[in-house]
Amino acid sequence: ACKSRWMALLTLAIFKNKPIQTFVIPHSHMDVGWVYTIQESMHAYAANVYTTVTEELSKAADRRFIAVEQEFFRLWWDTVATDSHKKQVRQLVKEGRLEFIIGGQVMHDEAVTDLDDEILQMTEGHGFLYETFGVRPQFSWHVDPFGASATTPVLFALAGFNAHLISRIDYDLKDAMQKNKKLQFVWRGSPSLKEKHQIFTHTMDQFSYCTPSQLPFSNRYSGFYWNGVAMFPDPPKNGVYPNMSLPVTKETVQAYAKTMVENIKQRAAWFRTNHVLWPWGCDKQFYNSSVQFNNMDPLMKYINQNSKEFGVTVQYATLSEYFQAIYQSDLVWELRGSEDFLPYSTEPHQAWTGFYASRNVLKGVARQASSQLQAAETLFTRYRISFPDGPVAKDWALDKLRALRWAVSEVQHHDGITGTESPTVADMYLQHLMQASMGVDELLAALEQHVIAYNPLAWNTTTIINVTVTFPTAAVFDDDGQPVPAQIQKSAHSSVTYDLFIMVELGGLQHRKYLIKFSEKLCSGRSKCGRTYKAKGVLFERRNIRDWLKTGRRLLPVLNECYKLMFDQDTNLLHSITNLQGKMTVRMTQDFWEYHTNGDVKAGPISDNYIFSANGSAVRAYKAVEMEIIPGKIVTEIRQHFYREESDKDYTYSITTRVPECFGSRLQCHRLEQTYSLGPLHLNTEVILRTSSSLKNNRTLYTDDNGYQMMQRTYRNFTNNTLARNYFPMVRAAYIEDDCSRLVLVSDRAHGVSSQANGQLEVMLHRRLWNNLPWNLGYNLTLNDSSVIKPTLWMMLGSISATSKLYQREAIELQHRPLQFFFPLAHPERPWQVEKPRGRSPVLSIPGWNYSSDHDVHLSKDLHSEPDYDRVLLRIMHLFEEGEDPELSKPVTINLKDVLQGIGEVEVLEERSLTGTWNITSLQRWKWRTADTLETNNKRCWSCGDEAFTVTISPKEIRTFFIHFASRNF
């Protein structure tokens, strides 16, 4: 250790005697939707970025550029680029002068995105780059997401990245890190994976990813952007853009050089080495690269000619060239554990915690589309293996899947699923998702009166599916004609339809077919009714909150084998829940509260798409509550309607709680399934579901990072804005606990969540905002969302050990509920053979890539070959953290040949990197020095015989494979 410190000091001394080496990295930040649609951006500037950059890089060997968002590049490549451009790009990529960074379709958000979707959008982009150019991105450029998750660096490490770059972290934390030269560190994002998937991380300084825009010698506000500001809807025909900076001439070059050198030296003081990353670019830049490079070239030449005087050298660089210089400095870097950088604040009154709940409808549709895609991928894969020459054309099917892959990937953009885009762009995302989803529906063709339930999970499940029907009576039968337990009742959301609940038992990755016989008349006799129970409700009198003088006198129990719920007839609210297995009772109420926000920037802080800034504490959102209880043999349903005013005819909010009965081999009763209806809201209102309990959690909360790992959120007091800065993203799960009990919520989409008081768990579900901030008005970024939303949460209450076994799996079961569609089934399906659900639902798909798994072969072969339909991508993950459960946290060893036998005979198994582009045996990531540097052997050896198909998954591991099934199946 002493030697390491001595070497580090010596290295720093050497650095100080050398000029500052500046890496000027040309880039353009191109939002895949935000203010303008993707089509508008392509037309106005994005296509010109790649056209002009390609032409300008080809003119001078020292010029560089990094390409980040693959969606725009792919659109340019497929629809704009000429053969000449494509030839130039291939040469530039080969020379390393045009470098693809991140390589995903988008620069994904890190707070409200789900793990599966982050991997999907990266895989989508990486596959294109590898099959087109034979390159594999090795660095990230996450400069604009609003906060940084600890999951993202883990995923990038798994994808083969050597370094990670972030920018948006709390303003006060960044200031402290700058002063102490701690903007660079080695991040061990997973407490279970530890050093195996750590990654060097560079945090951009206070200037972020844009070059300083102000010039002290000019009144222009574009700084080093000589091409000016992009124009919408059309580029100017004369090529003259507004606010173009003064050109670099003999008269201005000295002033430009002085400004640039001063900024370089200011940045250099914040880092440990004499290497400075100087990002040259910003939003919507480099659409006229000729003007850009022809001004920067002489400026850089002037600085280098006077480098002794300035103490600075400058060079065009890619991001890999910068990181290689840092890596070669061989310093010992500080470690950062699995904590993240969420939430994110830019100023004392600007906590970016509002977007956790913005555009709830879009968040829900995006997750539903993702779930549909994963199920459709596995169905198509099984179909191809079982019926290689079947009637469904493989090219047509793959096109449908690719369209949905693209749409789901696209919306993960940090101004997409976040809800921070304009209404026009939000509509664009929804249109793309729904169109692609309808296309995938065509794969699941229709036959009336047959319901197919498909379990996309890797484990067996017993659950309830809900089919909306228009007949008051129905009987349900399985493939063998045997009656199936079912229940029918009037719909919770419509006066003209009925909810038909069907109890289904499904093996892993298994179909079941059900026949529904409808009738307008009440059935008589067991044969006609089958085993369908017709449930009727009991309506309780509306209760006004002004009459809540005495409560708790008349408690009404609702029981199943897991819980006893007590409802207070004086309030029509939940009173308490008793876990019958653990014999614990927790006082608990659930209702809706509102935060009221300011819409006038002259009157104080405002809330908007991004920011949450309430005027004060939340206030009750209703004045009366009505309740109806529908006892059933399949499920008992409690419907609570909340009225804004006592005399309102229609309710504004509702909670529908389904208490399932126990069926089959697994207890399903441990989850209470809740759906909500909220809206339309009043303007400048943010609505929360508040669950108040007797748990003594001391306002400590646990929320998930991207559905991958749970983070402890300790309540903190701030000088300003304490309420908003204690909100956190909830992607799949959140819980509070004390020494005895844990209360868990799992979600079907992202929300904001907080614990503002002891025993409270509040979830922000919906927002409707308008303000007069010129920025928001100018870009139409107001959130005047008048929609009615219907999200779902599942609730569990139990001991810490009992809920630890359940909540990860429950979160996945909520997200990947059995797929219901109308489709004929030719033969029975065999289930996926997994005994214990420690691993998660597998990703099983046919990517349709045309590249060879052998890198050398791929680089030498024709890049325009046909898609490979015989290669299957399988991704599996261990759900549990190290030490989380005495049994379920153990490594799991499975023989993939055995567990996949229900699909086909596995012939070849090849382990790959997370996105499939690296063979894991050839992947060698950079090893950054830390105080406890450990030698980690990441290579995996495959033996001969059946052992070649045996895989061990350690806690929180994600492993990716290419699989080829025996040819006789094709």
Q: Which of 727, 114, 123 is nearest to 364 (CA)?
A: 114
Q: H/E element holding 712?
A: strand 709-713
**Whole-number Å distance between alpha carbons of 484 and 289:** 67
- Contact criterion met (CB below 8 Å) for 713 and 701: yes
- Contacts of 296-300 with CB under 8 Å at 24 or more apart are 296/24, 296/224, 296/226, 296/248, 297/60, 298/248, 298/253, 299/248, 299/253, 299/256, 299/257, 299/260, 300/24
Q: What is the dihedral of CA 240, 244, 245, 251, to 10 degrees?
A: 20
Q: How many other C-beta atoms lie within 10 A of the C-beta of residue 105?
A: 29
Active-site residue, selected from the candidate residues 114, 144, 591, 704: 144
**Whole-number Å distance between alpha carbons of 856 and 852:** 9
**Whole-number Å distance between alpha carbons of 687 and 619:** 10
Q: Which of 471, 490, 452 is nearest to 825 (CA)?
A: 452
Question: Cβ contacts of residue 11 below 8 Å, gap of 6+?
Answer: 329, 330, 331
279 preceded by a cis bond (ω within 30 of 0): no
Residue 529 dihedral angles phi and psi, to the nearest 5°: -80, -20
**Whole-number Å distance between alpha carbons of 127 and 871:** 13
Q: Which two tokens stand for residue 565?
A: 């719920």
Q: Which of 703, 721, 720, 722 is nearest to 712 (CA)?
A: 703
**Residue holding tokens 């990529």?**
93
- Contact criterion met (CB below 8 Å) for 338 and 152: no
Secondary structure (3-state) at 134: coil
Residues in the chain: 970
The sign of the torsion formed by the CA atoms of 576, 671, 360, 107 equals positive
**Residue holding tokens 């799992």?**
746
Q: How many other C-beta atoms lie within 10 A of the C-beta of residue 798?
A: 22
Secondary structure (3-state) at 945: helix
Q: Which two tokens stand for residue 166?
A: 């972030």
Q: Would you give the DSSP letter of residue 887?
A: T
Q: H/E element holding 895?
A: strand 892-895
- Contact criterion met (CB below 8 Å) for 916 and 123: yes
Residue 144 falls in the annotated catalytic set: yes
- Contact criterion met (CB below 8 Å) for 678 and 751: no
Active site members:
144
